[in-house]
Chains A and B, each alone.
Chain A
Amino acid sequence: MLVNFLSAAIIAGTPLLLATLGELITEKAGNLNLGVEGMMLIGAIAGFAFGYQFNSPYLAILASAVAGSLSALIYGFLTITLRANQVVSGLSLTIFGTGISSFIGTNYVGKKMTNSVINFFKPIEIPIFSKIPILGKVLFHQDIYIYFSYFLAIALGIYLYKTRKGLNLSSIGENPSAADAAGVNVNLYKYVHILIGGALCGLGGAYLSIVEVPTWQENITAGRGWIAIALVIFSKWNPYKSIYGAYLFGGLSIIGFRIQYLNISQNLLNMLPYIVTIVVLAISSINKSKEGSPPKSLSIPYFREER
């Protein structure tokens, strides 16, 4: 019972984790992209359409990542090259993503992902590790998409804290002029990381449409993109912390189905993750410590000419 619940929490938390990592790396570059929901939807429909049409899990994943980063490119061009307001650009991207996913998805509504793709993402037991009591079953009896997300979270942590490029990235988020003076190509870094961020958000959306659900339905993300933005704050811009944040919220979002016997209305239980997001956000904004504060240049456009 508990193992089943925790295992399902990991599954429900995976789209959140991927999107949170995507937004985290974007914000590290000093850009607040509120288009996460839109990028997830674009990734979700691209993944579903390619998986469904070509019957290929590889193409599905590739398409979702590419589509996610292409949509992030719109945001990047607007905010980096054209120095547009980041909040409004991100919101527009969400509106765009909602529109385009529902447009392309019209013909797929209610269609189920092909069996061979579904089978490709069947849970696989990892030898030895899966024998750990409770946690083994929860963490190491999952599909490869989830293993890939563990890898990404850890790799991103190592990249940010242990590599030269990762440290450069953080310095851009903190003080772009100083980074520029030190010879870091600020705009290139911003573009690259915004695109990677978009790819991760796209992958997060596609997990929903090709593995978790896996039937196309309009607006399949249902606000998860926004929860991911909140999770970045919750995890204090730390990829390792975002792992448990994402699974905590994954658990919250499925708790309703697990306690149905208590006869509480499903609609009321559906509110839970959103209420908890607000509460958690409020609490993390009360506890402001230095290490938990956002990158200093977040959402401020960088103008080289104005130095």
Chain B
Amino acid sequence: MSTRLASGGRLIDRTRTSPFTFNGHAMTGFAGDTLASALLANDQMLVGRSFKYHRPRGIVASGPEEPNALVGLGKGRFFEPNQRTTTTPLQDEATLTSQNHWPSLEADIGALNQILAPGLTAGFYYKTFIHPRPFWKHVFEPFIRQSAGLGKAPTEKDGDVYEHLYAHCDLLIVGGGVAGLQAALAAGISGARVLLIEQTGHWGGRVPVDGAQIDGQTADDWITATVAELESLSNVTLKRHTQGSGVYDHGYVLATELPPDHVAGSDSARARLWKIRAKQVLVATGAIERPLSFAGNDIPGVMLAGAVRDYVVNWAISPGARTVIVTNNDDAYRTALTLLDAGQEVPVIVDAREEAQSELIDQLRVRGVRILTGTAIAKVKGGKRVTGVALCAMNTGGSAVTEIIDCEAVAMSGGWSPAVHLFSHCGGKLYWDDARAMFRPDPARLPTGHDGQPFVRTAGAANGHFDTGAILHDAVAATQAALKLETAPIAPSQAQDPAEGPIAPIWVMPAQARYELRSKMWLDFQNDVKVSDVQLAAREGYESVEHTKRYTTLGMATDQGKLSNINGLAVLSQALDKPIPEVGTTTFRPPYTPVPMGAITGEARDAAFQPLRRTPIHAWHGTHGAHWEPVGHWRRPYCYLRDGESIDEAVHREVKNTRQALGFLDASTLGKIIVKGPDAGRFLDMLYTNMMSNLKPGKCRYGLMCTENGFLTDDGVVARIDDDTFLCHTTTGGADRIHAHMEDWLQCEWWDWKVYTANVTEQYAQIAVVGPNARKLLEKLGGMDVSNAALPFMGWIDGTLGGFAVRIYRISFSGELSFEVRVAANQGRALWDRMMELGLHLGGMPYGTEALHIMRAEKGFIMIGDETDGTVIPQDLGLGWAISKKKADYMGKRAQQRAHMVDPNRWQLVGLETLDGTVLPDGAYAVGAGDNVHGQRKMIGRVTSTYMSPTLGRGIAMGLVEHGPDRMGEVIQFATTSGTTIDTRIVSPVFYDPEGEKLNA
């Protein structure tokens, strides 16, 4: 059983206990515990079930590489699945729930899958569920989704807040072990702006556990002194609980901070995503120990040897009273020393190597520990926890068990792999160091930045140095290289570790293990991938490591194969009989470990999810029944609902009232761009299809804008202010886009034209006053002559209206007598209020965007985005009158002369009236005779706008129809989704007041 030792534990505070629950059972830990150490202190060795076979699983590691010990943490609004117990600090009253089992952790029915295991090998799903085809979607997938999967998704909205933080530095050092600290000191003394981040709450990494002496001090003393020195440097920032998540181009690095003192539901961030711009990045992320592949290596109680040391030294946890060590290298002997020092029993050290001779090993021999070389674990005994190991000779198939040893835990070490993930994210390449059996960063192929120079380097264990003295030396050298310093800013601290013997590359134990054993050797604990699965993939022809990964799912779980990658590809290389470097690695991609969704979201949630643009009159709409419609980032009233009214009723009321009396529209969202300069007219002649340069000051003209490819992109009224100045109105959604379009052409193409633009959309509020009583309303406000003589249609005047400085445009998008009154934005609401007040006696009421749309459709006016969709040219819409024949050029002119654009068979705009007066479905297609080449019914047109016209009391529509204008009066059929067709007559698109008499009413 795992227990808390009576003394020791460098990271725990025994005076402060923390109660917590695991699956409802009350347990206690100490301040400073991780969830994992607290669970082990309570002998909770079984912490979850595996993904596929529901095998009992325990804690394997002590850091971010942990594959098994993931729990659901918290409750309700503060629940989060897949929390890694080995890296999560224990908090008071924490609620832990184990994952992936039913009905309970102890008795899981899914474990029956183990019995079926021979049939559940690599590619099982691909092979089994492929026929019959429809079964995948409707039967197999829902069933598999039900049984597979790790944590449960939260059911409530996250109750915490999250944030981003932008930071800049000369040198970012990722990892606060001795390499990171030494590098930070060197860089700090050189004067560089340094940010050092460390994923845990403690400096120094694993050196204090491994027991090195640095500069004649204990590792802990050296760390304390170095941190103190770093804290005294104002150009160095130290940040714990912050993990480097990803390295991207241009020195952009994401780091995830999880403040340990966070109180759930408080206004401080639960997680903070750092967005760092670093001139140079130094990756000092240490190394990750590899498991060994022997049968039963996944049984709770089998742990990484380094992790066992961590638990003993850092948290005073013994994984068991008797621990067998199994290794292919010297480092695991440190674990034996640590266990012995803690008073625990090490019955045997199983060393796969034929020879075991070194200074470190001698220390164990001296203490009388039994060391069996050339030996392997044939099989681990036990179910929900280890009860013993069966040993055999290494170079056998494992059938001849030489000895059975009772034990409570197994500490395994397959050697260490540099944690090169961040180095690799941005293109750093690795090489295989055969003698030391590991992939190492290739100093000749570092990730390079915009200038072709390296911007990411590794130092210390991440660079393949495991000796403390070498690590310190490497850290200073890497800093010097990163900062391009002539000389080293400091001399590295000195350390000397005991000499170690060479590692033996052992990938399967025993070497000729028979199938029965290989099918119980786990490579990927989280995704349940075994040695036999990778070998099967190789036999089935999967040669590429990337394909094998996807076929077997090796390394594709939430731990991204931190423990399984190297072992998996080594097994593959053996199966393919190719050297490891030829097999290669899979690609490391960010993030290093999963980043909370909330941290990625940052502030962008609830009201701040997306910026909402508001006009100066927005608040009034909100208190007067506005039913909102999103238009770009604006919210505009679709209609104003009165008590008991439906949306349709409100829209119809607004249309009728505007046509019969007086309507008001908040048109502030329309784009307003000033274009000024001696070349302004020439510029607008190029941008619009029609002529603008001959417009007289005081006059307005409707214009169309096309893209270079000839397609209609925006429209609006242009007013000429003076000889040099125009004001261009754009659509609501087009303001920013068209302004950028103008600047693009002025800055990049016509840079020598004398034109300045200014987007003044937000400087003004604009109110459309529309209907037979519109002039009366303006006269009531008073102060300006708005008679037909003083202000004719398509004219504008400046003046003071009812005390407001305004510009009035006499323009109409509804066919009614209409004025658009522009006022400074700060006066917008006051003018609107005054109009509402005076309008009461004239039948005035506001109308929304739907009434606007209906009224323009009744007049046959097109709407950008309805009649246009990026494939429509003005000629399709009967707008030939707005295309100047006189101009030598305009944007889109050449494109509109191409064969496809002048094709007489292009669909053309017409009005559409159903014979029965109903409303055509939006987007419906007109069907013609016969089938097309795909065997589909031929289409001869489509609906672009369709409404119930309150004015005419029947459905009206516009649409694009093949040869439409030539087929006036003809009846064609529009198809519905239910398979029927609707008889529809082609008519003029101008349904209402075709003579335009209302404009001057």
The judgment on whether A and B are partners is no
